[in-house]
Amino acid sequence: MMNEHFDVGIIGSGPAGLSAAFALKAAGKSVVIIEEYLWGGTCPNYGCDPKKMLLGAVEAKQQAEQLVPAGLTGSLDLDWSVLMRHKMAFTEPVAARKIVGLDEAGIIHRYGHASFIDNQTVKLSEQTITANNWVIATGTQPARLDVPGDQYLLDNEDFLNLTTMPAEIVLVGGGFIAIEFANLAAAVGTKVHIILKGTAILTEFDQTLTQKLKQAMQAKGITFHDNFMTQAVQKQGQRIELLANDGRIVSADSGFVAIGRRGNTDALNLAAANVELTDSLVKVDGYLKTTADNIYAAGDVTNLAVPKLTPTASTQGRYVAQHILGLNTEQIHFPATPVVVFGAPKLAQVGVNPDIAIEQGYQVTEFDMTRWMGYYRNLEPLAQAHIVLNESGVIVGASVLASHADELINYLTVAINRRQNQKDLRSEMYAYPSLGSDITTFLGAAMD
């Protein structure tokens, strides 16, 4: 069997694997990266980017509808199949572009399923690859409902490739994916059902704002089925039915599972390399080392208690490279990390969650921004924020529910990471009127 040897081998070409590969190669290491499916991984192929491509026209329509009382006339329709072609035009070339990027950088790439033989050797189809260090960056896959008929439910990748949008869908789960996909589907006129285990959506977020988001979604005709414990899924002709343990039935043309994700670790033969797992995730220490001394893990597949997002995955990939190169001997550190749910409106959060802030001795200020010019001019029906300050008046957390929450949270994240107080803030100057200039009003008022 042919063998190739490298300084570093990387399994998985998502944001974590690629950022490690480029940083290691730039420092002169010989690097191989292995991918078994789409080069680029989840985010650009069946995650963040395709979703955002679909959102472009959806958001424009939603904003236009808000502006009818401000003089906008005419009606706009969304054509899902054209929207999908627009998305495909962006996503289809991704994998090929990634390969060009790897070739230009001189990073060797191999296609196929990698699994360990020992802590230095990986088997790939008809060859083996040895490396001094390995980086496991294999990401996650959708968790499945452990009930009969689960196979009838589709997943995030299927949704983001739908060539026609069904008239009625059911989404199981009340997290990021269900809320974002519900918004997309409802915008094109699909009847949407959401199955919740309890009553709350997005349980990691500010619950005052998530309740408002849930109400806004209900007002658009999205139906939440609270406390619905799915015990079976069945096919009825062309439709599917979800059966709850209390006898309720929800039926739709298609169903999608979005109940969280599990690590892509099952088929890696990690035991042969002495790499331990916690549940399906790779156990790592503060240096992103696994239980095998020469093997690291990075990105969604690790058991680190950080949000599983593209920026946190790339940060881990870059950190692993720096650590292997001996350029960073400190433990990995994450700055305040913004998380955004791209719903309608968007919900964003960073730093200390306002829900737990008061009991921890912080001060929380609430802002209804609907009468502020930036929101009022667009007749935003919902624009709210919570700002969390510590006892020294320094911003430590924020949550925002508004159509531009994704942009606003970036400014707030910078303020948190710079530990800004009122004086620091007032020394900044932003263009007026703009989202940035709202920041001075915002934080200035909270800090008064």
Ligand X SMILES: NC(=O)c1ccc[n+]([C@@H]2O[C@H](COP(=O)([O-])OP(=O)(O)OC[C@H]3O[C@@H](n4cnc5c(N)ncnc54)[C@H](O)[C@@H]3O)[C@@H](O)[C@H]2O)c1
Which residue ranges make up the site for ligand X (CB under 6 A)?
A: 145, 172-178, 180, 195-197, 203, 230, 258-261, 307-309, 340-342
| Helix 176-187 × helix 207-219 angle, to 10° | 30
**Structural tokens at position 444:** 């200035």
- Length of the chain measured in residues: 448
**Do β-strands 127-136 and 295-297 pair in parallel, antiparallel, or remain unpaired?**
parallel
Residue 168: which of ligand FAD, ligand X, none does it interact with, CB under 5 to 8 A by kind?
A: none
In the complex, least distance from residue 196 CB atom to ligand X, rounded to whole angstroms: 6
Q: What is the DSSP string of 119-163?
A: SSEEEETTEEEEEEEEEE---EEE----STTGGG-B-HHHHTT-S
Q: What CA–CA distance (Å, rounded) separates 68 from 221?
A: 20
Instruction: Find the DSSP H helices in 231-330.
Output: 310-324
197 binds, among ligand X, ligand FAD, none (CB under 5 to 8 A by kind): ligand X
Distance between CA atoms of residues 5 and 17, nearest Å = 18
**139 is a site residue for ligand FAD (CB under 6 A):** yes
**Does 47 participate in binding ligand FAD (rule CB under 6 A)?**
yes
- For ligand X, which is the closer residue by CB, 5 or 262? 262
Assess 409 for contact with ligand FAD (CB under 6 A): no
Among 36, 150, 204, 428, binds ligand FAD (CB under 6 A): 36
263 is in an annotated binding site: no
* Rounded (10°) angle between helices 15-26 and 94-105: 20
In degrees rounded to 5, what are phi and psi of residue 347?
-120, 125
Which of ligand FAD, ligand X, none does 255 bind, CB closer than 5 to 8 A by kind? none
Q: Which does 50 bind (CB under 5 to 8 A by kind): ligand FAD, ligand X, none?
A: none
Give the residue, chosen from 91, 119, 230, 264, that forms a contact with ligand FAD under the rule CB under 6 A.
264
- Residue 17 interacting with ligand FAD (CB under 6 A): yes
Strands 121-124, 127-136: parallel, antiparallel or unpaired by DSSP?
A: antiparallel
**How far apart are CB 47 and ligand FAD at their closest, in Å?**
3
Total residues binding ligand FAD (CB under 6 A): 37
DSSP state of 246: T
Torsion sign, CA atoms 335, 294, 30, 113: negative
The nearest distance, CB 33 to ligand FAD, in angstroms, is 9
Q: Is 167 annotated as a binding residue?
A: no
Task: Tell me the residue number closest to ligand X, measured at CB.
Answer: 175
Rounded CA separation 168/222 (Å): 11
- Mark the segment that binds ligand FAD (CB under 6 A) among 231-239, 260-268, 370-378, 392-400: 260-268
Nearer to ligand FAD, 38 or 88 (CB): 38
Does position 42 interact with ligand FAD (CB under 6 A)? The reply is yes
Q: The dihedral of CA 164, 170, 172, 175: what is its sign?
A: positive
Question: Least Å distance between CB 204 and ligand X?
Answer: 8
Structure tokens at 445: 């008022």
**C-alpha to C-alpha distance for 57 and 65, rounded to whole angstroms:** 12
Q: Which residues bind ligand FAD (CB under 6 A)?
A: 11-17, 34-38, 41-43, 47-48, 51, 113-114, 137-140, 156, 177, 264, 267-268, 299-301, 308-311, 313
Q: Which residues are annotated as a binding site?
A: 52, 173-180, 260, 300
Q: Which residues are annotated as a binding site for FAD?
A: 52, 300
